[in-house]
Amino acid sequence: MDSTSHLSEALLRLRAVFCRTTDVELSETDVARLAGLEHYECRILLGVLEETGAIEWPKGRVFVCRPSSWWTSAPVRSLPPQ
C-alpha cells in the first residue's frame, strides 16, 4: 500500500469514528483504538484535523466532532482499487 492510500484509509477510519461518536469526548488513545491506528500516527492526523477545523480540541487532549462539522458532512471519495 503506498503512502497516499495509507493516509486516505487512516482518514476514512478517523472520520468513521467521529461520525459514530458525534459530540462524544474522546482521548487520543480512544480515537487510536477505535480507528485501529498506531497512537503516534493518530496523534499527527488529529492535530491536522483540529488545525483545519474538522474537529475541536477544547479540553487539552479530548477531541469532539460536532454534528455541524464540514468533515462529517462532506462527500467521501472511495479509495482507488489496489
Residue 5 in grid coordinates = 492510500
Instruction: Tell me the sheet residues that pair with 56.
Output: 64
User: What number is the average pLDDT over the span 6-28?
Assistant: 84
> pLDDT category, 78, cuts 50, 70, 90?
very low
In the chain, how many H helices and how many E strands? 4, 2
Whole-prediction pTM: 0.69
Instruction: List the beta strands (DSSP E) in the chain.
Output: 26-27, 62-63
Q: What is the pLDDT of residue 60?
A: 63
Predicted confidence at residue 80, as pLDDT, reads 44
Model pLDDT for residues 19-29, shown as the tens digit of each residue:
887 777 788 88
Q: Which fold has domain 3-71?
A: Arc Repressor Mutant, subunit A (1.10.10)
Long-range contacts of 47-54 (CB under 8 A, 24+ apart): 49/14
- How confident is the model at residue 70, as a pLDDT? 62
Answer with the residue of higher pLDDT: 3 or 46.
46
Rg (CA), the chain: 12
